[in-house]
Amino acid sequence: KSGCRICQHKLESKEKHKEMPEEKEKAGKDSNKGWNVVRGEFISVNSACMSCSCPRCPKGLSPSAHLADGTTDLILIKKCSRMNFFRHLFRHTNKQDQFDHSFVEVHRVKKFHFQPKVDSPEDQSYHPERTACGPKFSNPKISNYSTAVSSWTCDGEILHHAAIQVSVQHQLIRLFARGIEEQQ
Residue range 110-162, pLDDT digits in tens: 999 988 876 544 444 444 444 444 444 444 444 444 455 677 888 788 887 77
Residue type, 2: S
What does the pLDDT read at residue 89? 87
CB atoms within 10 A of CB 74: 21
Low-confidence stretches of the chain (pLDDT beneath 70) = 1-33, 118-149, 175-184
Closest CA to 106 of 149, 73, 151: 73
> Among residues 75, 73, 98, which one has the least CA distance to residue 87?
98
CATH number among 2.60.40, 3.40.50, 2.60.200, 1.10.3470, domain 1-113+163-184? 2.60.200
Average pLDDT, the chain: 71
Q: Which residues pair with 45 in a beta bridge?
A: 76
> Which has the closest alpha carbon to 161: 120, 102, 113, 122?
113
pLDDT the model gives residue 149: 64
What is residue 164's predicted lDDT score, i.e. its pLDDT?
Answer: 85
Sequence ranges of the domains in the chain:
1-113+163-184, 116-162
Q: Residue 181: its pLDDT value, please?
A: 54
CB 104 within 8 A of CB 75: yes
Nearest 5 degrees, angle CA 45-CA 20-CA 58?
45
User: Sheet of 72-78: strands edge to edge?
Assistant: 42-48, 72-78, 104-109
How many Cβ atoms are within 10 Å of 143's Cβ, its own excluded?
Answer: 12
Strands in 23-180 per DSSP E: 42-48, 72-78, 104-109, 111-114, 129-131, 134-136, 152-154, 157-159, 164-167
